[in-house]
Each structure stands twice: as structure tokens, then as C-alpha cells.
Structure 1
Amino acid sequence: MIPIPKTLESHLQRTVTTHCFAWIIRRQDGVALGFTDHDRPLLVSDVMCELQTGMTGSEAATALGLSIDSAEIEGALSSLAIDRADIERGLYDGATVETYLVNWSLPGDNVLLRRSGIGKIACSDGKFTAELKSAAAGLNKIHGRRVMRNCDAELGDRRCGVNAADPRYFAEGRVIQTDDAAFLVTGLEHFRSGWFDNGHLTWDSGANAGRTTVVVSHAANRIALRDIPTDPVAVGDTFRIIAGCDKSFAQCKAKFANGVSFRGFPHLPGNDAAYAYVSGGDEFDGGPLVP
């Protein structure tokens, strides 16, 4: 049960009320943005909430228990505080949204109805829609290790053990020709084609400086990215690229000589073995299934 201040509770019991809704978005970088569906700005929880932003909230049901309730918040990108580029850069990923019921005639009388995390964000036709997830959504996340054939570590992290700063596994390059998500570059001449497949590229300069994306393919001096960069890439932009890993035991041994630190379970029979057609040629004698 949500505790409601006595003054607000008394106000809501009147025949005529002066209440509205306000939303405060708190990003992980410390920035807090406030919005309201009222026709004038309101100071709520020490955050000035903008008026008439086109912000609306869908109906949300809250129930006892651990079930995940969700809602949506949407609005036009007319507010100067919300920039589509910031959304695409991921500045709103992991942000929290606080929903308040406010007595607009006395904004100090308010109650926090819910605190949600931002899930998926979609932008189209000058509007954005953000999915809000309750705290129970965290219970849906996988915690601990999973028994799977492929490795669940990230290349270069503590569990992997590979030194990503080793010159064999990274390169610094420069763009010499652009084509959407594919580029011709210099700096990769000493690496064979495919070495950076599934790798990560971080821009060091240009409009996309600081952003990281996944490399889909690497062939000679041409690389293709999974996502088209948010801002245009220009000739001369520099980057740092790290070798790719497909998480397989075979590549871990052959490419990185790191089989002893492999974080998967390649020798355990999986569903393919359990549901395969029975034949006399299959032998599960405890020996390795993957060379």
C-alpha cells in the first residue's frame, strides 16, 4: 500500500480536485529531467518539471507478489531537454522513471506512485516511447553461471584472462573511405582477414568519439559494423579495434591459446545429443566431445 500524505489524501477526497501527474527521469550520469501533464511548470522533489511536453503515461496496474508489471511513457521530442541523439547514444539506458501524483495548486503535496526502470525505447515520427519495468524485472535476469557449451566471459575481462592490450589482439586505425556501416581503413595490414570478426571497435575521434560497436566482418582493409553509427563517420576518423571471439572452445585454443581459462562446458552432451536419433555409432564414454 502506498502511503499518501494526510494533506493530499484530504484533498483527493474533495468533490473538485487539482491534481496532475509528473514524471522525473534520472539518468545514470546524474542528470534529472522532469515533465508534467499540467499546463505550467511544477517543482516536484527538487526537480523542475516542464509543462506541455506532450508526455503521457499508459495505465499501469500494481499488484502484490513478484509478478512484473509494466507501463509505457511516451511524448513528443519537442522538449529541448530530450535529444534523439542522446537516446541513440544510450544515455537513457538504465535510467529510472519516478511517477508522481501532484496537487498542482500546492506542488509540495505529492506522492511517489512508482519507480521504474527504462526498458526498450523506440523513436518514430518525432516521438519516443519508453517501456517502464518495475523492480521485479530484475528477478528475470540471469545471475551466476550458465551451463552452456560456449564461453560466457568477455574477451579481456578478469574471467577470460586474455590481455586485450597485447599488440596481437588489437589495432589502431583510420578511416579512408566510408559507406554507411562499412569502411575502408588503414592500420590493419598486419592482420589476416577475419581476425576482427565479432570484435569491438571504439571510436577515438570524430563525431562518434567514445562510442563502441560490434564488428560484423573484417576482410583485408574493409570492416563492416553491426550498427550504423549515430553520427556520420568522416574520412580521417580514428579508432581502436579489438580482436573478435566467437566464444567457441576451438577458437579459444587456436586463436588465443587460452583453452585452460575457457568458461564454457564444451564436453557436456547437450539437447542435440539427448534428442538425437539413437544409433550404434554414438559413444558417450566420458571422453571429450570437442577436440
Structure 2
Amino acid sequence: MLAITPGGLSLMRGRSLRLASLWRITRRDGQVFRFAVHDRPLPFREEDFATYTYTPVQGIDPSSLEMPNGLEDLNLEVDGVTGTTITSDDLRAGLFRNAAVSEFVVNWRFPWAGAIVTTAYTMESLRFNGEDWKADMSGVGKRLTQRVGRRHSRRCDADLGDGRCAAPLGPFTFAAELAQSVSPSSPRQVFVLSGAPAGGLGDDFWTEGTVEWTGGSNAGVVSEVQKSTDGGGGSYTLTLYLPTPNDIQIGDAFTVIAGCNKTATICTSKFANLVNFQGYPTMPGSDKALQGP
């Protein structure tokens, strides 16, 4: 989305143009960050008619941008380093994934005149190596190229417990606090779930499930379970797909929900919910199409 205000147009015609970029990043949790690619703080009045201060930031380097014609996609790549504002813990937790980004190009001598150009992005494919991060940002035009709708497959395309699945999650949800020590070699990825209902749930009962951390240093983070191993007596060793931002410690509170591998077999035997199965298990594959008479 591009827009030029009357005040900005007047400055352009007067040839008194000194450009600075203002960046507003709105994370998924609602927290807002405001940066100025400049050497001093700049006040700027936003869409809600409130004035906010954009502070100078070091270590963020956006790539050059060429304005496309028509509805062509607008892409931008940004390199940065972690610091006190964009921290490594927040990046590990994925809090900046799919964040909404607005860029306001202003005349730094007259920021009160409004933005000369306004551009909206979505932060995608965020990569992080511990110190540096790189984000690919796409404009709103990319949404016009995305496929919308269902894809027919043999597996279910609903999320466990959502409106289409309608499976009750109560019997498959367990809340607890970590009581046993975690793996010394993987303190952010492997932990022991104890006190769960005993009764031979099996090794893969929690596999492909989710863990929502409700207490401790990882509170608010949702992790996906890669593997669960039944240790007997209501004890299970859970391995996460991705490590948590901080070490998992004894006393951390969490809620774990059983996993579903999206097959009709598990939907029947584990959840007794085949009537709401959103896949097509008997759909013929390409082998049937290639068969001769």
C-alpha cells in the first residue's frame, strides 16, 4: 500500500527533501516496536492521530527497494543483529514471525508533515543464527497470489479440536508442573511428563501434540512434540521439534494436548471421531489413474 500525503507532496515540489525511514513492527502478541533509520529520535503522528517517538536503531540494514508496477509483489530483505530490543529469546520463540511491518518515509526536518510514502509488509521466513537475523518481508500484493481453499488428500486437513474436527480435547489434555530433571544434554528440547493418567497410552500418544508453557521462563510459548516415549506409571519422555527460548526447569507449568497424525485410523481408534474426519481416505491415487484396463 503506497500513499503520499498532501504535506509530503508539497515538500517534494519544494525540493526540500531530506528522507528518513520510520519502521513500526507489530508482533503477534500485540507488542509494538518503533525505529528510526536516523541519528536522532523523530516524532510522528500515526493513523490514530497520536504522536509516537521513533528512536534511532543500530544494526538493522534494509535492502534497496524498487517500486513495482500495478499489483506486482513488493519484497524487501532486512538484516539485523540482536540487542536489547529485538532479543535472541524473542526470535527463538518465533514472536516476530508473521509480524506486521509499516514503513513511513518522512522528511526528517518536517516529520509533522506526514509520511511521503507508506508501505505495508508482512515479516516472513525469519532466519536466526544466534547473533544475526535476516527477515524476508513481502508486500500485501503477495496475498493475491496465495491459494485459498481446501486441498483434497487422504489425510485430515482440520486442526485437532477446531470447529470442523469437533473432537473434545478435555480427555486428551493434561496440565502439570515439571517434577523430574530434564535431559542435561538437551535442557530446552527434552523433558519428562510425570503424573499423567496411567493405563498404557503408548509411546506415541503425545507425538504431534502441543505443549503450552503456562509458567516459568518460557511462559506463553507453544511447542510441538516430535516424539513421546512411554516410561510406565504415567511417565513420558517428550522431545520437542524446536528448543524452547530458555532452559526448561523443575517447577515450570505447562499444558500438553495429545497429538493426531491426521489419519482415519487414529481418528477412529484414538478419538472415536471418524464422523468428523476431514480427509478422503479412500481417494484413489495416481497409481489408479495409470492402471490399464
TM-score clears 0.5: yes
1:186 aligned partner: 194
Q: Matches of residues 21-170 of structure 1 in structure 2 within 5 Å? A: 21-45=21-45, 46-78=51-83, 80-109=84-113, 110-124=115-129, 126-166=131-171, 169-170=172-173
Once residues 7 and 20 of structure 1 are traced to their aligned partners in structure 2, the CA distance between those partners, rounded to angstroms, is 15
Q: Does the C-alpha gap of structure 1 residues 270 and 62 become closer, same or farther in structure 2, counting only changes over 3 Å?
A: farther
Which stretch shows the higher mean deviation, 147-156 or 181-190?
181-190
| Residue in structure 1 matching 2:252, options 237, 241, 246 | 237
Unaligned 5+ segments in structure 2 are 46-50, 231-235
Q: Helix, strand or coil for the counterpart of 2:103?
A: strand
Q: Helix, strand or coil for the counterpart of 2:128?
A: strand
The CA deviation string for residues 1-34 of structure 1, in whole angstroms up to 9 with x for no partner, is 9553455345445667422222121234443322
Q: Does the C-alpha gap of structure 1 residues 5 and 123 become closer, same or farther in structure 2, counting only changes over 3 Å?
A: same
Q: Does the C-alpha gap of structure 1 residues 100 and 175 become closer, same or farther in structure 2, counting only changes over 3 Å?
A: same
2:218 aligned partner: 208
Q: Does the C-alpha gap of structure 1 residues 223 and 7 become closer, same or farther in structure 2, counting only changes over 3 Å?
A: closer
The CA deviation string for residues 111-152 of structure 1, in whole angstroms up to 9 with x for no partner, is 233111111222236332221111122234442222111001
| Residue in structure 2 matching 1:248, options 260, 263, 270 | 263
Deviation at 1:223, TM superposition (A): 1.4
Question: Do the aligned residues in 1 keep the contact of 2:107 with 2:116 (CA within 8 Å)?
Answer: no
Q: Helix, strand or coil for the counterpart of 1:256?
A: coil
Please say if 1:197 is aligned against 2:197. Answer: no
Q: Helix, strand or coil for the counterpart of 2:267?
A: helix
Q: Does the C-alpha gap of structure 1 residues 124 and 217 become closer, same or farther in structure 2, counting only changes over 3 Å?
A: closer
Query: TM (normalized to structure 1)?
Result: 0.84
Q: Helix, strand or coil for the counterpart of 1:194?
A: coil
What amino acid does structure 2 have at the position aligned with 1:219? T
Which of the pair has the greater relative contact order for Cα pairs under 8 Å at 6+ separation?
2
Poorly superposed stretches of 4+, deviation over 6 Å:
none
Once residues 259 and 176 of structure 1 are traced to their aligned partners in structure 2, the CA distance between those partners, rounded to angstroms, is 37
Q: Does the C-alpha gap of structure 1 residues 142 and 2 become closer, same or farther in structure 2, counting only changes over 3 Å?
A: closer
Deviation at 1:175, TM superposition (A): 4.2
1:269 aligned partner: 284
Deviation at 1:215, TM superposition (A): 1.1
Once residues 4 and 105 of structure 2 are traced to their aligned partners in structure 1, the CA distance between those partners, rounded to angstroms, is 10
Q: Does the C-alpha gap of structure 1 residues 67 and 26 become closer, same or farther in structure 2, counting only changes over 3 Å?
A: same
Q: Matches of residues 6-25 of structure 1 in structure 2 within 5 Å? A: 6-12=6-12, 17-25=17-25
Which stretch shows the higher mean deviation, 48-57 or 130-139?
48-57
Deviation at 1:71, TM superposition (A): 0.5
Q: Helix, strand or coil for the counterpart of 2:170?
A: coil
Once residues 54 and 91 of structure 1 are traced to their aligned partners in structure 2, the CA distance between those partners, rounded to angstroms, is 19
Query: TM (normalized to structure 2)?
Result: 0.84
Q: Helix, strand or coil for the counterpart of 1:176?
A: coil
The structure having more radius of gyration, on CA atoms, is 1
RMSD over equivalenced CA pairs, Å: 2.4
Once residues 29 and 8 of structure 1 are traced to their aligned partners in structure 2, the CA distance between those partners, rounded to angstroms, is 32
Identity in percent: 27
Once residues 131 and 203 of structure 1 are traced to their aligned partners in structure 2, the CA distance between those partners, rounded to angstroms, is 28
Q: Helix, strand or coil for the counterpart of 1:178?
A: coil
Question: Do the aligned residues in 2 keep the contact of 1:36 with 1:53 (CA within 8 Å)?
Answer: no
Please say if 1:171 is aligned against 2:174. Answer: yes
Question: Do the aligned residues in 2 keep the contact of 1:40 with 1:50 (CA within 8 Å)?
Answer: yes
Question: Do the aligned residues in 1 keep the contact of 2:128 with 2:134 (CA within 8 Å)?
Answer: yes
What amino acid does structure 1 have at the position aligned with 2:98? G
Deviation at 1:56, TM superposition (A): 2.3
Q: Helix, strand or coil for the counterpart of 1:100?
A: strand
Q: Helix, strand or coil for the counterpart of 2:116?
A: strand
Once residues 6 and 238 of structure 1 are traced to their aligned partners in structure 2, the CA distance between those partners, rounded to angstroms, is 54
Question: Do the aligned residues in 1 keep the contact of 2:207 with 2:227 (CA within 8 Å)?
Answer: yes
Deviation at 1:222, TM superposition (A): 1.4
Which stretch shows the higher mean deviation, 96-105 or 50-59?
50-59
Deviation at 1:43, TM superposition (A): 1.1
